[in-house]
Structure 1
Amino acid sequence: MERHDMDLAAYEERARNGPCFVCAFLRGDPGYRHETVYEDDAHIAFLDRWPTLPGRVLVAPKAHVEHVVRELDEAAYSSLMLVVRRVALAVERVLEPERTYLLSLGSQQANAHLHWHIAALPPGVPSERQQYHALMAENGILTPTPDEVAALGARLRAALTT
């Protein structure tokens, strides 16, 4: 899939001054729609709207939590990380990556709602375009069609049931 430039200024404005993107998504705000791949009472996992790698998934607690180590007790942290692992294994079954990156991004300034990124590095990506390079929107984003997003979401949901 081809990479395209992202309007980073518009994204930054939205991330800094818009509503919490996870909470807006959970409320059903059409401007924050995502393809859900997993949901339980406490967690949500969904495809990234601006993926830098195919099948990039975000996993978040449904409660508005901002600090992974300060606001989650051991049980909540463990539960969240088990969901991250479960979704990451489904991503690996579906996409068969060379490597799967797991990272938590965001800050008090932008995208404060705690979320984990699951990013599957496809086989054959040259070394100089792996790791942080592959994760940064500054290096371009993928723009799958709505049908491609729906199909991938269905494949991931199916992998999560096995």
Structure 2
Amino acid sequence: MTDRRPMDLRAYEERMRSGPCFVCAFVAGDPDFRHETVYEDDDHIAFLDRWPTLPGKVLVAPKRHIEHVVRDVDETAFLRLMRVVRRVALAVEEVLAPERTYLLSLGSQQGNSHLHWHIAGLPEGVPYGQQQYHALMTENGVLSMTPLQTADMAARLGQAIRRM
């Protein structure tokens, strides 16, 4: 796995709690919230996590600002979103061949309120004590990836999605 670097959690929390919605800002084209897109349709966007804890960690979100995964989404919209999540997760599995693929919807009204799903492939061979939540916590460091590595990962995932 790529080397890890510490993350400035205090600065991240401040940005998420006091700044604009990161998904809405990204969708609007704000360069301060730029991410590498791996999939996009009229209603959804999938992009690489800016602070990945696992290789190829992707976020999938509706473009419209929705906050609650259950009560703010009708069944049809929820199923459309979950089809996108599944399609992206299958691409992560094709490209990275993980031991397990984690799917989580995180965030709260206090920060990161825009509904989004995390798709994270756990690489083969990660010791059990470093799996599950440990593997997802930025407190344990984030991967040091160059812009070229990030762009390459986005391209490979995007190609896999288009083949489906």
2:16 paired with 1:15: yes
**1:117-151 deviations in Å (ceiling 9; x for gaps):** 00000000000000000000001000210000110
Map 1:139-154 onto structure 2 (within 5 A).
139-154=140-155
2: CA distance, partners of 1:12 / 1:57: 20
Give me the CA root mean square deviation. Answer: 0.4
Counterpart in the other structure of 2:94: 93
**Alpha-carbon offset, residue 53 of structure 1:** 0.4
**Residue in 1 aligned with 2:114?**
113
CA deviation after TM superposition for structure 1 residue 161, in Å: 1.3
Task: Provide the rounded CA distance (Å) in 2 between the counterparts of 1:114 and 1:30.
Answer: 21
1:135 is matched with 136
CA deviations 1:1-33 (Å, max 9, x no partner) are 011100000000001001000000011111100
Task: Report the Cα distance in structure 2 between the residues aligned to 1:52 and 1:11, rounded to whole angstroms.
Answer: 15
Please say if 1:41 is aligned against 2:42.
yes
- 1:51-62 → structure 2 map (5 Å cutoff): 51-62=52-63
Give the letter for the 2:158 counterpart. Answer: R
TM-score of the pair, normalised by structure 2: 0.98
What TM-score, normalized by structure 1, do the two folds share? 0.99
**In structure 2, C-alpha distance between the alignment counterparts of 1:29 and 1:153, rounded to whole Å:** 19
Aligned twin of 1:25? 26
Letter in 2 for 1:95: L
Identity %: 72
In 1: Cα distance, 2:52 partner to 2:36 partner:
12
Aligned to 2:68: 67
